[in-house]
Structure 1
Amino acid sequence: MKTITLLVPVYNEESVLPQLFKRLDEFTKNTPNYQFEFLFINDGSTDKSFSIIAEQSKKDSRISYINLSRNFGKEIAMIAGIDHVKSDALVIIDADLQDPPELIQEMISYWEDGYDDVYARRNNRQRRNLASKKKTSQWYYRILQKSTNIPIQVDTGDFRLLDRRCIEALQKFRESQRNTKAIFSWIGYKKKEIFYNRDPRLAGQTKWNYRKLLNLAIDGITSFTTAPLRMATIFGFIISFIAFVWIIYLLVRPLFGVSTGAGYSSLMAVILFLGGVQLLSLGIIGEYVGRIFIETKNRPLYLIEEYHAGNIKKTRR
């Protein structure tokens, strides 16, 4: 019997956990030919999420959990779980039940057909601010696609099934500034796309505000491409060339009797513009240097306060 781990990152989801347990139990009853583990990663929740998970683990031997020492963020919580997966396959699913567990059956069928990464692509997003988030998401993926030679998956989240060799590949990525969605594309292997309609949250509020989404986008771009540095170089060359031509023009035009004039306003505009370009270029360079600085410290990605292993058996591979 093959083993499958359902990895669930959790951060302040006490209101939805009872329904999640119920849905997962119903799903596994309808999928009897596999041994399942429910691996919960408590990412420093400040509510009763961890105590609910720990209590449920006493009733359900399939439940394992990792209680991180503090909130490290979802990206780190996922790699903490991936590091502890021992099964033949892994399914990453959010705790808020926007990703339906019933779709995992279709993922498993494609996995059995030989696919290593079966990922779910959203048909819609039932959110109030649908238009703005959808448009910014399109811009982000378009920029990322054009700035890297890696085929980035569009309109996909973390909801996917990964074969054992994908799990072992992901365990080799140890950078602290992570964008797992781009890493999924980077590792390659045989992929299969399926479509689904994402459900609204059953309770609580989304943890992803615009600030966190912007940080994730910057991490994705700076982790997988040096295009911003190249753009800064090209832009600087263009500005320097224009400035050189302008200087030649200023030197030549008095020979034709054209007065140079005071030009204080235009001079200030040029100075401010060039200063802005320099600061922007320094900021781009600083983003990369800052990441080098963080990575050279070789700090652990996460610290575990408590770990409980369920009854999952180690994979036969």
Structure 2
Amino acid sequence: MLSIVVPCYNEQESIPLFYQAVEKLRPEMGQELEYVFVNDGSNDETLSELRALAGKDSSVHYLSFSRAFGKEAALYAGLQSATGDLVTVMDVDLQDPPELLPKMIHMIQTQDIDCVGTRRADRAGEPRLRSFFARQFYRLINRISSTQMVDGARDFRLMTRQMVNAILQLSEYNRFSKGLFSWVGFNTKYISYPNRERVAGQTSWNFWKLFNYSLDGIVNFSDAPLNIASFVGAASCFGAAIAMIFIVVRALLFHNSAAGWPSLVCIILFLGGLQLLCLGIIGKYIGKIFLETKKRPVYIVKETDKTVKD
């Protein structure tokens, strides 16, 4: 059986289109299907659409959160609920082409691989500024982290049950799925496809959210920022020591110890800024640790199709 995990946030228009597109491919896939929709606290009619869909098709299941916990939580909840031998994660807006599923199933059944991932061959239709920062993020994370991530990789991938079980063992509160998929290992092959626009609705991802998401990825999979903070601190101390020696020598030779107040103020401000920068980097890591130690659940389910049927 193939489980299709689909996170949803304000996707009332996309859900019927997604369901119809996948159903057209059901004979070609040759698999029993299980839909696992996860409503991430939507404030439109997404939940109503899922209720109606589950009412007419027994292969459709859904979970509805008590509030919006984010896509990462929705992915984790969907993977926990999926029961298939093969599991795929897809966006409901059809930016992930369902027509690739038959090919992905064939690859994973005929080749010695555990996962078939997808990546965008281009970023056509995306704002240039966002594309630029996205490429720089992948370049940076692959330089400072031992967990390598493929540029343009999507969450859309087909995984074996063994790989899904490995991902579910990573129960951390601060989640970055692209990194987790790479971290667990397993044999993975990628296939490319041209970038697609949404079929309906508006994306909830703006530049600021993507920027914060990239910071989470860096903090979760690299300690390089801490090393940079340590290096900056050491360099500042070394520079201050050299400056002190220079001032003492100048005072002894030229008897001039009162001049230089403007430069002194600049140095103090510069060093103060470095200290705040380093404290901010350390604080980011401490904040992540603080959230992990609270042991709060990644998500809270308010309703499922099973509770409604019961």
Per the shorter chain, which TM-score range?
over 0.9
1:5 aligns with 2:16: no
| Separation of aligned partners in 2, 1:45 and 1:254 | 69
Among the aligned pairs, what percent are the same residue?
Answer: 38
| Separation of aligned partners in 1, 2:238 and 2:134 | 35
Q: Secondary structure at the match of 1:127?
A: coil
2:176 maps to which of 144, 167, 179: 179
| Separation of aligned partners in 2, 1:44 and 1:221 | 27
In structure 2, the partner of 1:146 is 143
1:256: Cα distance to partner?
3.5
In structure 1, the partner of 2:250 is 253
Post-superposition Cα deviations, 1:253-307, rounded to whole Å, max 9, x if no partner, equal 2344374552222111111110010001111111111111111111111111122
| 1:110–1:192 CA contact under 8 A, matched in 2 | no
2:273 maps to which of 273, 276, 280: 276
Tell me the amino acid that sits aligned with residue 155 of structure 2. Answer: D
| Separation of aligned partners in 1, 2:235 and 2:165 | 45
Q: Name the structure where helix makes up a greater proportion of residues.
A: 2
List gaps (5 residues or longer) in structure 1. Answer: 310-317
1:156-305 pair list within 5 angstroms: 156-257=153-254, 259-260=256-257, 262-305=259-302
| 1:14–1:47 CA contact under 8 A, matched in 2 | yes
| 1:121–1:156 CA contact under 8 A, matched in 2 | yes
| Separation of aligned partners in 1, 2:260 and 2:2 | 72
Q: Secondary structure at the match of 1:30?
A: helix
Ranked by relative contact order (alpha carbons within 8 Å, sequence separation 6 or more), the top structure is: 1
Count of matched residue pairs: 305
2:45 maps to which of 35, 38, 48: 48
Post-superposition Cα deviations, 1:206-239, rounded to whole Å, max 9, x if no partner, equal 1111221122111111111211111100111011
2:70 maps to which of 64, 73, 77: 73
| Separation of aligned partners in 2, 1:61 and 1:96 | 22
1:75: Cα distance to partner?
0.4
1:178: Cα distance to partner?
0.9
Tell me the amino acid that sits aligned with residue 242 of structure 1. Answer: G
Post-superposition Cα deviations, 1:76-109, rounded to whole Å, max 9, x if no partner, equal 0000011111111111110111111001112112
1:202: Cα distance to partner?
1.2
The alignment's C-alpha RMSD in Å is 1.3
Q: Secondary structure at the match of 1:64?
A: strand
Tell me the amino acid that sits aligned with residue 59 of structure 2. Answer: R
* TM-score w.r.t. length of structure 1: 0.93
| Separation of aligned partners in 2, 1:139 and 1:27 | 37
1:84 aligns with 2:58: no
List gaps (5 residues or longer) in structure 2. Answer: none
* TM-score w.r.t. length of structure 2: 0.95
Runs of 4+ in 1 over 3 A off after TM superposition: 258-261
1:17-36 pair list within 5 angstroms: 17-31=15-29, 33-36=30-33
Tell me the amino acid that sits aligned with residue 41 of structure 2. Answer: G
1:30: Cα distance to partner?
2.3
